[in-house]
Amino acid sequence: MKVSSDAFAGLQSQKPDALLALIAQYRADPRADKIDVGVGVYRSEAGDTPVMRAVKDAEAVLLSEQASKSYLGAEGDQRFAQLLWQLVSGSNRLGTRCFGLQTPGGTGALRVGAELLARARPDARVWIGEPTWPNHAPIFREAGLQVRTHRYLGATGGDIDFDAMVSALTEARAGDMLLLHGCCHNPTGTQFSQEQWMALAGLCLQRGIIPFIDLAYQGLGDGMEEDAQGARHMLAAVPDALLAYSCDKNFAVYRDRVGALFIHSGTESSLELARTNALTIARSLWSMPPDHGAAVVRTILDNPALRTDWEDELADMRRRLQIVRQGLASADPLLAPIATQRGLFSRLPIHADAIATVRRTHGIYMPADGRINIAGLNQTNLSRFVDGVLPHLPGYRGNSASDPSAPQEVSA
C-alpha cells in the first residue's frame, strides 16, 4: 500500500518579497513618465545599469587568456582577496592577523561570518541599528543567533544621534557582536563621522564587543579611501573583527555575486581556528565560490590601466549621485539632509499611505519604508519626483496630512 505523505505541509507560509512585487507593479505601469526609486542598483543619467567599461575589458582579457575552469578551492581566489584587502586597509598584505575568504557577494560573507560567530559564541547577541538592510537580521537569525536592535537615528530620521546609540548599546555584553555599515548606510544614507568611528572602536575595545563591518558601497560615498576610513579606525583598534565586502555595487557586477569575508584576529592561533572553521562553513554552503566576477575584479585591480579606468568611472557614478543629492536638497529645506547623506539611498519620512498615493497619482515607485534610490532620479524626472512627494512630507507648508511612517520591511 502506498503511504501518502505531504512532505512540505508543515512549513509556515512566507511573506512574498515586497520589493519584487513593487518591481512587477512598476513594469506593468504603462505611464511613460513613471519613476523607479525602489530597486537598489545604480542607474546612469539615462536610467540604465550599464556594465562598467573596465569590467567589459577584463571580461575580454579573461575570455582570451583563461586557460582552465578547474576548481579553485573553498577559499576562492586568494589574489582577489589580497587585492580587495588593499582597498579596505590600504595595506598590501593580508598578513598573519587577517584571512580573506572569497564569497558569493556581501550576503555570502555576512552569512559565513554569522555562522562563524554561532560556532564560536552560540550565546552571543548581534546588535543591529534599526532601520537597516532588511536581510541583515534574517542572516543572523538563520545562523541561530539572537538579534537585538538599537536606535541610532535622531528624531527626524535624517542624521545620527550618536549618544542615543551609545546609550542603547550599554546592554551589549562582552562577546556580543555589533554590525556596522562601513559607509553609505542602506537605507538611510547616514554615515558615522571619523570621531564617531573612533568612539565606536574604543567602545568595542573596552567592552569586548566584536565589530562586524558591512562594507557594501565603498567608493559610492566620498571616495575609495574616504569610505574605508571608518573600517580602518576599527581594525586598527580592536583585536578581533569581521568585515563583509561586496564588489557588486562598486564594480556593478550585481548578478555575478562578488564579495569576500575578512577575518581579523588578535592572535595567529585564533586566526587559524577561525580560518579553518570559515572554510568548513563555506564548504557546506556552496563548496567553492563562483569564479567569474571575482576573476574580473582581480583582473581590473591587477592591471594599472583597467584600474584607473574603473576608478574614473566609479568617480563619475559618485559625482552623479552627489549632483542628484544636491538637486533634491536645494528643492526644499525638508529635503536638505539628503545632501549630507551618502551612497545610493536616503529615506523619506513619508507615510505608507502617501507612498501608495504617489504611486497611483504620479507613477513614483518606492518601497513602503520610504527608502529612495538616489540613482533612480535624473535631470528629467527630479522635479516631478519632488513635486510628487514634497506635499506628503511632515512639516510641508503646514500640511499635516502625513506622519513619519512606521518602517515596513523591504527585502533588497
Ligand X SMILES: Cc1ncc(COP(=O)(O)O)c(C=O)c1O
Instruction: Choose among 45, 24, 21: nearest CA to 316.
Output: 45
Do 215 and 228 contact (CB within 8 A), yes or no?
yes
Contact assessment for residue 187 and residue 350, using Cβ atoms and an 8 Å cutoff: no
Site string for ligand X, 50-89 (x = CB under 6 A): ----------------------------------------
Residue of 133, 176, 240, 256 marked catalytic: 133
Comparison of 186 and 299: residue with beta carbon closer to ligand X: 186
d(CA 384, CA 386): 5
CB of 204 to ligand X, least distance (A): 19
Find the shortest distance in angstroms from Cβ 247 to ligand X: 7
Burial of 27 (0-12, 13-18, 19+ CB in 10 A): exposed
For residues 99 and 133, which CB has a smaller minimum distance to ligand X in the complex? Answer: 133
CA distances to 101, 105, 106, 247 from 295, in Å: 14, 13, 16, 12
**Exposed, middle or buried, 197 (CB in 10 Å: 0-12/13-18/19+)?**
buried
Given a contact cutoff of 8 angstroms between Cβ atoms, the answer to whether 174 and 207 are in contact is yes
214 part of the interface to ligand X, by CB under 6 A? yes
The closest of 285, 330, 294 to 100, measured between CA atoms, is 294
Say if strands 177-181 and 125-129 run parallel, antiparallel, or are unpaired: parallel
Exactly one of 249, 260, 309, 369 is catalytic; name it: 249
Residues 173-202 that bind ligand X (CB under 6 A): 181, 186
Other residues' Cβ atoms within 10 Å of the Cβ of residue 163: 9
DSSP-derived 3-state class of residue 213: strand
33 labelled catalytic:
no
Q: Compute the least distance from the CB of residue 255 to ligand X, in Å.
A: 9
Catalytic residue among 114, 172, 216, 329: 216
> Closest approach of Cβ 128 to ligand X, in Å?
11
Question: Residue 103, SS3?
Answer: strand
* 23 versus 412: smaller Cβ distance to ligand X: 412
- Shortest Cβ 13–ligand X spacing (Å): 25
Of residues 327-356, those binding ligand X (CB under 6 A): none
The one among 38, 40, 158, 219 contacting ligand X by CB under 6 A: 40
216 classed as catalytic: yes
Q: Which of 77, 176, 248, 256 binds ligand X (CB under 6 A)?
A: 248
Considering the complex, what minimum distance in angstroms separates the CB of residue 280 from ligand X?
21
Could you confirm whether 69 is annotated as catalytic?
A: no
Pairing of strands 35-36, 146-150: unpaired
Catalytic residue among 77, 214, 240, 256: 214
Choose, by CB under 6 A, the member of 259, 289, 337, 388 that binds ligand X.
Answer: 259
The site map against ligand X for 120-149 (x = CB under 6 A) is -------------x----------------
What is the footprint of ligand X within residues 353-372 (CB under 6 A)? none
Contact (CB, 8 A) for 43 and 261: no
Residues 93-122 that bind ligand X (CB under 6 A): 105-107
Residue in 103, 107, 36, 39 with CA at minimum distance from that of residue 76:
103
Residues at the contact surface with ligand X, assessed by CB under 6 A: 40, 105-107, 133, 181, 186, 214, 216, 246, 248, 259, 412
Active site residues: 133, 214, 216, 249
